[in-house]
């Protein structure tokens, strides 16, 4: 009942008291801390990376470090398949002083002797890269990470998992080519969002566990979600982009709502959205806006206004229920002389 009470409060607070009001952008938000800084760090780190050979090689020691005489690290490029619950974490990406998925994963890799100490201090030195960045509280069913590690050690996956909390698990490991990059090779990300159906209930409906979504309401929700498909300017769906910033344009391949199902007396639906990439809070604001329109708190015209250069406030659905479902790997086109007729 705590979950139900929490959702009632969210629906009441976010949607009953939220008006989607237009206001011209006076100044862009300047608190672009985590992602912008991380991208700058990754760009500068490339200059100092070691050569990323895919076969066995010796990992370099950081300047001034004592080189063990009897130990040489033989690292190979691999792809790890991991899953995690984002509850209690401040996101996937490593952030000093914060509890993140990457911090716990790197600590486990080091304790299992899969990476050397310099790989723990500077993950770029072992070519560590994630396929997708998940935000605070967001979980992942199929997340991929590429890096160079001691892959030939017997029982290495069991050793890594023994040092991980129960919320994180490494399920598989595959050798990849020396130039493989989990982020660059990912051409699409698919997220799922599970929500109680009463979050989409019309104003005249009673918001409670007894609510059941009709076929008409489900059809209307899917009609609203389809508006997001294609390329649009999503500067209003995040907190740190200028309306004229080209990176605010994102391509959504599909967005649909599945049929309702009942668990413990409460009816739920799962929304699936697939896109090339997403910005901070983008999916939660997309779903929050669809909820506001479906309930009658905002007119459908809000979609076009949100994609314009005007700055408007949009409601944001809670992180609870959002998960990275899978990442799609880019298929490389073989040379012409190797293709079939």
Output the DSSP codes for 276-294. S---TTHHHHHHHHHHHHH
The pLDDT, as a whole number, for residue 72 is 72
The pLDDT, as a whole number, for residue 331 is 61
Q: Can you say which residues are annotated as belonging to the binding site for substrate?
A: 191
What is the CATH classification number for the domain harbouring 301?
A: 3.30.70.660
Q: Can you say which residues are annotated as belonging to the binding site?
A: 191
The average pLDDT across 292-313 equals: 96
255 found inside a domain: yes
State pLDDT tens for residues 68-87: 333 578 899 999 999 999 99
Domain of 205, in residue numbers: 2-23+187-329
Q: Could you tell me the CA-to-CA distances from 56 to 66, 122, 173 in Å, in that order?
A: 22, 20, 16
- Average the pLDDT over each of 47-56, 148-157, 216-225 and give the range with the smallest value: 47-56
What is the phi/psi pair of residue 340, to 5°?
-75, 165
DSSP 3-state assignment of 53?
coil
Place of tokens 């899917």: 222
177 found inside a domain: no
User: What pTM does this model have?
Assistant: 0.76
The average pLDDT across 252-262 equals: 98
Number of residues written out for the chain: 341
The pLDDT, as a whole number, for residue 9 is 52
Residues of the chain by 3-state class (helix, strand, coil), percent to 5 = 30, 25, 45
The pLDDT, as a whole number, for residue 137 is 94
Interatomic CA distance for residues 182 and 130, integer angstroms: 6
Confidence band (pLDDT; 50, 70, 90) for 59? very low
101 found inside a domain: no
DSSP 3-state assignment of 76?
strand
Considering 9-13, 34-38, 180-184, 337-341, the range whose residues carry the highest mean pLDDT is 180-184
Statement: residue 256 has pLDDT above 50: yes
134 found inside a domain: no
The pLDDT, as a whole number, for residue 51 is 40
Share of the chain above pLDDT 70, in %: 76
CA nearest neighbour of 151 among 57, 86, 61, 230: 57
The pLDDT, as a whole number, for residue 6 is 52
275 found inside a domain: yes
The pLDDT, as a whole number, for residue 337 is 46
The pLDDT, as a whole number, for residue 35 is 52
304 found inside a domain: yes
Q: What is the mean pLDDT of the chain?
A: 83
Q: Is 313 marked active-site?
A: no
138 found inside a domain: no
| Domains of the chain: total | 1
- Average the pLDDT over each of 5-19, 55-69, 198-212, 288-302 and give the range with the smallest value: 55-69
The pLDDT, as a whole number, for residue 49 is 42
Interatomic CA distance for residues 296 and 300, integer angstroms: 9
The pLDDT, as a whole number, for residue 329 is 83
Statement: residue 60 has pLDDT above 60: no
The HSE-up count of residue 291 (CA atoms within 13 Å, CB side) is: 30
Tokens read off for 68: 């063990």
Q: Which of 51, 57, 104, 135 is labelled catalytic?
A: 135
211 found inside a domain: yes
């Amino acid at each position: 009942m705590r979950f139900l009470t929490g959702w009632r409060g969210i629906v009441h607070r976010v949607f009953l008291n939220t008006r989607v009001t237009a206001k011209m952008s006076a100044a862009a938000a300047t608190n672009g801390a985590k992602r912008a800084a991380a991208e700058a760090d990754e760009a500068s780190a490339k200059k100092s990376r070691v050569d990323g050979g895919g076969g066995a090689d010796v990992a370099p020691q950081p300047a001034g470090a004592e080189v063990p005489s009897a130990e040489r690290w033989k690292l190979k490029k691999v792809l790890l398949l991991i899953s995690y619950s984002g509850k209690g974490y401040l996101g996937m990406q490593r952030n000093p002083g914060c509890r993140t998925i990457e911090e716990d994963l790197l600590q486990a890799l080091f304790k299992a002797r899969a990476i050397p100490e310099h790989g723990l201090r500077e993950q770029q030195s072992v070519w560590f890269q994630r396929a997708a960045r998940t935000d605070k509280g967001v979980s992942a069913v199929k997340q991929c990470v590429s890096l160079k590690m001691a892959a030939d050690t017997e029982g290495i996956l069991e050793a890594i998992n023994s040092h991980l909390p129960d919320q994180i698990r490494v399920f598989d490991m595959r050798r990849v080519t020396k130039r493989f990059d989990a982020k660059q090779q990912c051409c699409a990300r698919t997220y799922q969002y599970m929500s109680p159906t009463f979050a989409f209930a019309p104003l005249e409906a009673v918001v409670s566990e007894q609510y059941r979504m009709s076929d008409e309401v489900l059809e209307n929700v899917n009609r609203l979600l389809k508006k997001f498909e294609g390329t649009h300017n999503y500067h209003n769906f995040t907190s740190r982009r200028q309306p004229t910033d080209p990176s605010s344009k994102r391509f959504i391949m599909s967005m649909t709502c599945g049929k309702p199902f009942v668990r413990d007396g409460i009816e739920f639906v799962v929304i699936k959205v697939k896109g090339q990439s997403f910005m901070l809070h983008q999916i939660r604001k997309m779903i929050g806006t669809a909820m506001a329109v479906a309930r009658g708190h905002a007119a459908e015209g809000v979609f076009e206004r949100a994609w314009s250069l005007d700055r408007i406030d949009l409601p944001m659905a809670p992180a609870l229920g959002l998960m990275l479902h899978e990442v799609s790997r880019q298929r490389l086109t073989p040379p012409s002389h190797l293709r079939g007729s």
